[in-house]
Amino acid sequence: MFKNKPPLVDGQSIDTLIGSQVTIHGDLVFSGGLCVEGRIFGEVIAQDGQPAVLTLAEQGRIEGEVQVPVVVIHGELQGDVFAAERVELAAKARVLGNVHYRRAEMKAGAILTGRLIHVDAETQAMAPPTLVSATG
């Protein structure tokens, strides 16, 4: 279908395409490049230890949690996003949920109804307190 070279979206190679006429009900686990032009009702999760990039096209929609190292959003996402590496919100992106990120890029026009939570800050906040013993 893709011949020798996979197509590129936003400079990322696409291994899997969910077309605009496709609706998925259920969780999706993947690795590599995934481009969503259709709808997903469920979680989208990258396989542990595998490189993964999710690109949500302008006409695409996801209702569910996303756990992917690199997330590029042009469409609509309802749910929390956990991007261990980076998240990009394009000008027409619409996100209803919290975005957990290490690096973020948000273009003018993008709409985020939720919180931006930096991963390193979150990790520090959740770290157990260090006990210091004072002996005399």
Q: Please identify which residue in the block is written with the tokens 């979206």.
A: 9
Would you list the domain boundaries of the chain?
Answer: 8-114
Q: How confident is the model at residue 131 (pLDDT cuts 50, 70, 90)?
A: low
Given a contact cutoff of 8 angstroms between Cβ atoms, the answer to whether 123 and 100 are in contact is: no
- pLDDT tens-digit map of 95-121: 999 999 999 999 999 999 999 999 885
Q: What 8-state DSSP symbol labels residue 127? A: S
Q: Is the pLDDT of residue 73 over 70?
A: yes
CB atoms within 10 A of CB 35: 25
Between these two residues, 42 and 14, which has the higher pLDDT value? 42
Q: Is the pLDDT of residue 82 over 50?
A: yes
Q: What 8-state DSSP symbol labels residue 121? A: H
